[in-house]
Structure 1
Amino acid sequence: MNNNKIRRSGLVIAMAAAMGASAAANAAVELYNEDGTSFSVDGYFNAFYVNRDDNVNNTRDSRVKMGFLPNTIGFNFGKKMGDLTLGGRSSFWTSINDSLDSGIDTAIDVRQFYATVDGDFGQVLMGKDFGLYARSNIFLDEILMGFGSPGTAGGVSFGNIRAGYPYPTPSAQITYRAPEMSGFNIAVGVLDPADTVTGTAADENAAPRFESEVTYATTLSNVALTGWVNGRYQSAENGSSTVDSTGVGYGLKAALAGLTLGASGFTSKGDDPVLIGNTAVTEDDADGFLVQGAYAFGANRLVLSYGETDSEIRSFETESTTFGFFHDVNSNFKLVAEYNMFEERNRTTGATTTDADTIALGAVVTF
């Protein structure tokens, strides 16, 4: 009754992309299902030993950190009401790396808190969820459940954010998803706009932010194909200054037996290539791409990933190479080993600002 709602949640899509078909069965524990009303819980827990060689500062650092996906617990609700199914999801994402900075405090953020209405017409989502622009770029990343490139000192790693795709920042939105049509899935949404002229509430946003995504899945001669195109548009003003922000993301994945090959990319103007927010930007360009190959054999999966981003707006050029090994101990327990090489250069001066080699050894538990 509420499978459609749960299937579209960000965490479950992420797990399904990284774990394969078995993820859907293990993505939630049903606690109640009576008289057309259901309630379930899903969780994601991980930790990595991380050893990083900083070649710019000639230092080596050892940490115990969480991976690209933070530790998460989510609650799913559903109720059948005549021809409609009402649903909802709230998920809480937490850092495990903030205690040394703030004692026993733990940073918890809410990336999903929304209601859904499903019917023959499709689905309407109302609340806070991941954006549509760059959504499949990140959720179909082969190292989503790994570590990837360096991130913030007290938070998650960045995976391939800023080295292949931007982050689909969770935002307040009203999004419509049409029923599946011969393999096509279409979503369009109005989202809370960002203040991109001065980065303050003084900016004027006469219209919301618009985002959309079209995905297509089919099988040709035993090759499973998945393709997608997504985009974003908004305009902000302040006096005589205007910033028009546009972005287009795209990608294609092909899988045959245990081999998966994928490529994705994006191009944007006046749009932050890391994550959108209430920050003043210019109408400069940014673009990036990500190419990946993965091979699964038995309970194991090998991944090779390479991504780049070239950003005029932030004046950087990055490249990130990741070798990953994933081993399923069982359907709910995964071991991960990664080696990442990440480099960032100042686009104006050509100076190398980051040159880091990272070894990450971790474990992931899901329910």
Structure 2
Amino acid sequence: MNKHAIKFAPMTLAMMCANASAAVTLYDDDTHSVTTDLLVNVFYTNSSSDRLSDFNDPNSNKISRDQSRVRIGFLPNYIGFNFKTEVNDLKIGARSSFWVTLNDTDNNRGAEGLGTRSGIDVRQFYATIESDWGQVLLGKDFGLFSRSNILTDELLLGHGQSSDYYGLIDGGNVSFGNIGSGYTYPFPKAQMTYRTPDLSGFQIAVGVMDPSKKSANSSEDSPRFESEITYTGEFDTVDFKAYINGVTQSSKDSNGTVDSDGLGGGVRVGFGGLALNASGFSTTGLGDVAGLDTIVSTEKTKSDGYLLQGSYTFDSERFVLSYGNTEVDTDGTKTLEYENKAVAWFHTVNSNLTLVAEYNRTEVNEGNTEKNNTYALGAVVTF
């Protein structure tokens, strides 16, 4: 895997996407309930990549590679368990979820007697306390910054981009979807988050979260703070959602202090079978793929990205067009431009089964660093 490659943990937002309401009841009485939900997806993919042999040297040789794989898509496969009870005026809840990959890189398969090395990853383990005053979440869950950007992605149940620049062609985990080409990933974090009740369509969330470190010996005098304001409403036949989210933190070591800040937002409008989705973000001192969780930058590093999408649904069919772009500047000089164009067809067989056909065209630095074409055919099963 090249030096830009990231061992990316399985994407773990499935329970909040389409079919999120699907669940199987394990236990239910007047005071307690336990349910479980599950997602399995698998894709046949064929990718064709033309890229520099050395991503850091624009004068290096070009190499081409075609690769066929059977792999998971943007979302991993997971099983989750949900707990609910009510004591006096308090609603107590909890969720634990466990995520697995289906595929392994050729280099890892069976290596050192470790079998297929399909990792089991816990991305959520939290409790909630809720009443008329709102909800408090305690534990591990996804961050608030970029949360709605990724949840409103029309390709959330699809495959997404898999360029060699981030080591994704042979990656043993998920593809990136539009991470790095339109938004950053809201990594799960230890947190204490308060959400207001619904305020005529508005909801405010504020979280105190475990900070990320600039280096192994860095110090963080304050936690990371993340927040999000969302508005959802229906106007006759029009569905509308708008949101704005942000993050701030500081990390200091012997080489200095990095103050990291980010702002994101977006709008999604649906009417009839048509949906239009636009989101964007701007950050300083943050990574362009995983935000604070891969701090290697300084305050002079700035990232900006946006995602534009349109979809049309009729009967059992949904068609999606998508364009995402992220640019990274350091000292006022553009050091990276990463874009992904995609078209996808989703066919709903029933409430538990969706078939997917998708094409992604990824270009790094306007195609001078890499051009990648990925075709994917797959199925998504939910319970």
TM norm. shorter chain > 0.5: yes
Deviation at 1:11, TM superposition (A): 3.1
The residue aligned with 2:284 is: 269
Question: Which of these residues, 227, 230, 250, is aligned with residue 265 of structure 2?
Answer: 250
Matched-pair contact (CA < 8 Å) for 2:14–2:20: no
Of residues 302, 305, 308, the one that matches 2:325 is: 308
Runs of 4+ in 1 over 6 A off after TM superposition: none
Contact 1:245–1:269, Cα closer than 8 Å, also in 2: yes
Match for 1:97: what amino acid?
N
Local SS of the residue matching 1:340: strand
Q: CA deviation at 1:99?
A: 7.0
Structure 1 residues 83-103: Cα deviation after superposition (integer angstroms, max 9, x where no partner) = 111111011111111275142
Deviation (angstroms), 1:190: 0.6
The aligned length equals 344
Q: 3-state SS of the aligned residue for 2:369? A: strand
**1:111 is the counterpart of 2:123:** yes
Does 2:350 match 1:333? no
Match of 2:314 among 297, 302, 306: 297
Aligned counterpart for 1:140 among listed residues 152, 156, 176:
152
Letter in 2 for 1:334: T
Structure 2 equivalent of residue 194 of structure 1: 212
Instruction: Please tell me the residue identity of whatever aligns with 1:115.
Output: A
Match of 2:196 in 1: 178
Moved more, 97-106 or 244-253: 97-106
Instruction: Determine which of 129, 136, 143 is the counterpart of 1:131.
Output: 143
Match of 2:175 among 144, 154, 157: 157
Alpha-carbon distance between aligned partners in 1 of 2:175 and 2:133, rounded to the nearest angstrom: 39
CA drift of 1:255 comes to: 0.3
Aligned partner of residue 58 in structure 1, secondary structure? strand
The residue aligned with 1:5 is none
TM-score norm. by structure 2 comes to 0.87
Aligned to 2:73: 67
Aligned residue for 2:232? Answer: 217
Aligned-residue RMSD, C-alpha:
1.6
- CA distance, structure 2, for counterparts of residue 297 and residue 81 of structure 1: 44
SS at match of 2:240: strand
Residue identity matched to 1:359: Y
Query: 1-side partners of 2:99 and 2:337: how far apart?
Result: 30
**Is structure 2 residue 96 aligned with structure 1 residue 90?**
yes
Find the residue that maps to 2:370 and give its secondary structure: strand
Contact 2:72/2:103 (8 A) holds in 1: yes
Instruction: Report the Cα offset of residue 304 of structure 1.
Output: 0.1
Greater shift in the superposed pair: 244-253 or 218-227: 218-227
Aligned position for 1:206: 221
Instruction: State yes or no: 1:169 paired with 2:169.
Output: no
Give yes or no for contact 1:98–1:107 (8 Å, CA) kept in 2: no
For residue 370 of structure 2, what is the aligned residue in structure 1? Answer: 354
Q: CA deviation at 1:24?
A: 4.6
Amino acid at match of 1:143: L
Unaligned runs of 5+ in 2: 1-11, 52-62
> 2-side partners of 1:351 and 1:145: how far apart?
27
Q: Deviations over 1:100-150 (max 9, x none)?
A: 514223211111110111111111001110100000000110000001110
What is the TM-score normalised by the length of structure 1? 0.90
Q: 2:298: which partner in 1?
A: 282
Q: 1:351 to 1:261 in 2, by over 3 A?
A: closer
| Aligned residue identity for 2:159 | F
